[in-house]
Chains A and B, each alone.
Chain A
């Protein structure tokens, strides 16, 4: 089976987000980058499916030239090839992003004569959290779609995709080809091996430059919520703080 996994390059923000002076982006000059957590699991899931059923995993990202790093990270853990939809650094909206991805899937079908059997996404990107690119791609390609999936099985009948919602398990049955977005916890992603890293270094990355499009949403500013910062009252150091901790638990009514 042929799997296309879509990932997004995001900064590793750590303990605090800093916004640039113009208020329009996250100051990432001193930050490392990664792919969104759900997408690391999407890559792992794609690699496992292909290990089990044969085929290939192609990883795709839409982002600046540097986003090729995230494609190589995915190749290092088992993806077979990468596609970079290169942007000029502007933020892309979910509609334009979905159209660019759908165009890649359609072109793949024109070139090879067959479709990707499965398009995998993360449930939502860590930064913008738009929750919609996977669904939009499914509509553009006329494919069935399930989101937020925590357990995925593929057999001759298609995909069996499960998730938890409000204490119940929901099972979706999808014929292939299909679009599935996954959540962290579906698997535990592996670490790259040394040969994997070497392969990733040399792997050919295809580059495409799609055209940015306006889509009705204008970013005015980004800001860090204020009220949250406070300074903790120090109860003490080491085991000497235990009596104060017990008193606190008592006050909070936790010991009755």
Chain B
């Protein structure tokens, strides 16, 4: 028996942080009943080279697992690594991956299949759940095995603002792991997993939907990775009001974020929205200006290291989430702050 973990790598073959968290979750679950973790990675083919030969034999791990990724999997206590090889396709094909996972889970007599709760993780697992007619729970962060087919789970609802405790009864538990609620923790003892390739048997429909990927040359500081986010809400008052936020963000080398109210009013584009249905950020400093602190918004910024709120209302919900606050009108405070920062230069 084993717990299967679907592991995502970035385009350089590095295991994604969210997958390290999923591996931590999978190891914790497997250890409760003396099981192993089987990591499943998708074969990454260097650009411009021919697709790997099909066929199930071992020894050709180089096509799928970069040395760094293999090391990460060993550090996280993975017993086996399986490299999923999809023939005739280069892009991401969610249903084909799900079919491959289903075949691997069957062969390994898996008690659970887990993935990070990313766009890909949730999508692949939803396909797997549909193919296997099993329930699936998204955004889990704790699991206790009560019986061979019974799990007690805790998962996020409302983007993490509410926790659900649930009991799952299923022959194979299909779970995705809430990325910000599980700390990535290496195993006490590293393993020496062997990588083997696996070419699933696929039907035409499995490959019918697949992604053609293109990369744009991104410019400027991206909101998701910014160290400083200067965020504005309805309290900014107008499109023109954002000039001070733009300026402050530039002075601090950060990015501008906005609340859902601001994008709904059409003041700023949705790409700048922080929140449950926008971008999730985890900056060193989050400056919330004229933002009341609806949970829709907080779901996107609660991982900030330090939060400072500028708000006219000392009773606003943001005040019970922020570390520091300025009570006052941002349209007076921000220009004064910008001026003070300029004077220092």
Query: How far in angstroms is the closest Cβ of chain A from B323?
Result: 6
Shortest beta-carbon distance from A9 to chain B in Å: 15
CA distance A113 to B317 in the complex (A): 53
Return A123 CB to nearest CB of chain B, in Å. Answer: 8
Are B213 and A37 interface neighbours, CB within 8 A? no
> Interface digits, B278-297 against A, CB 8 Å rule (1 contact, 0 not)?
10000011000000111110
Q: Which of A181-225 contact B (CB under 8 A)?
A: 183-185, 188-189, 215-225
**Closest chain A residue to B160, Cβ basis:** A225
Chain A residues in 8 Å Cβ range of B316: 15
Q: Which secondary structure characterizes the binding site on chain A?
A: mixed
- Kindly state whether residue A21 has any CB partner on chain B within 8 Å: no
Is there an interface contact between B341 and A218, defined as CB atoms closer than 8 Å?
no
How many angstroms from the CA of A126 to the CA of B214 in the assembled complex? 30
Across-interface contacts of B136 in A (CB, < 8 A):
94, 130, 132
Evaluate contact between B326 and A185: CB separation under 8 angstroms. Answer: no
B264 at the interface (CB under 8 A from A): yes
| A171 at the binding interface (Cβ < 8 Å) | yes
Question: For residues 143 through 178 of chain A, which have their beta carbon under 8 Å from a beta carbon of chain B?
Answer: 144-148, 163, 165-174
Are B284 and A144 touching (Cβ within 8 A)?
Answer: no
- Nearest B residue to A215, CB-CB: B135
Query: Residue on B with the closest CB to A238?
Result: B328
Are A243 and B340 closer than 8 Å at their CB atoms?
Answer: yes
**B164 lies within 8 A of A219 (CB):** yes
Q: Hey, which chain B residues are within 8 Å of A221, CB to CB? A: 164-165
Contact flags (1/0) for A236-256 with B, using CB distance below 8 Å?
Answer: 111101110110110010110
- Comparing B25-33, B45-53, B265-273, the segment that makes contact with chain A is B265-273
The answer to whether A185 touches B270, judged by C-beta atoms less than 8 angstroms apart, is: yes
- Other-chain contact of A216, B135, B205, B208, B308 (Cβ < 8 Å): B135
Q: Which residues of B have CB within 8 Å of A86?
A: none
Is the beta-carbon distance between B126 and A135 smaller than 8 angstroms? yes
Q: Is the CB of B332 within 8 A of A238?
A: yes
Binds B, one of A51-59, A63-71, A226-234: A226-234
Contact of A218 with B138 in the complex, beta carbons under 8 Å: no
CA distance A16 to B161 in the complex (A): 8
B residues 145-176 in Cβ contact with A at 8 Å: 152, 156-170, 176
Cβ proximity bits A9-27 to B, threshold 8 Å, 1 near / 0 not = 0000111110100000010
A129 touching B130, Cβ below 8 Å: no
Docked CA distance A108–B35 (Å): 47
- A8, CB-defined interface residue at 8 Å: no
A131/B122 contact (C-beta < 8 A), A222-B163, A252-B284 known:
yes
Given A129-B156, A185-B270, are A223 and B324 neighbors across the interface (CB < 8 Å)?
no
A-B contact pairs, 15 of them (CB 8 A): A14-B294, A16-B317, A17-B295, A126-B277, A136-B129, A163-B119, A165-B120, A169-B214, A184-B277, A188-B270, A223-B162, A223-B165, A230-B320, A234-B324, A248-B324
Interface of A with B (CB < 8 Å)? 13-17, 19, 26, 37-38, 93-95, 124, 126-132, 134-136, 138-140, 142, 144-148, 163, 165-174, 183-185, 188-189, 215-225, 228-239, 241-243, 245-246, 248-249, 252, 254-255
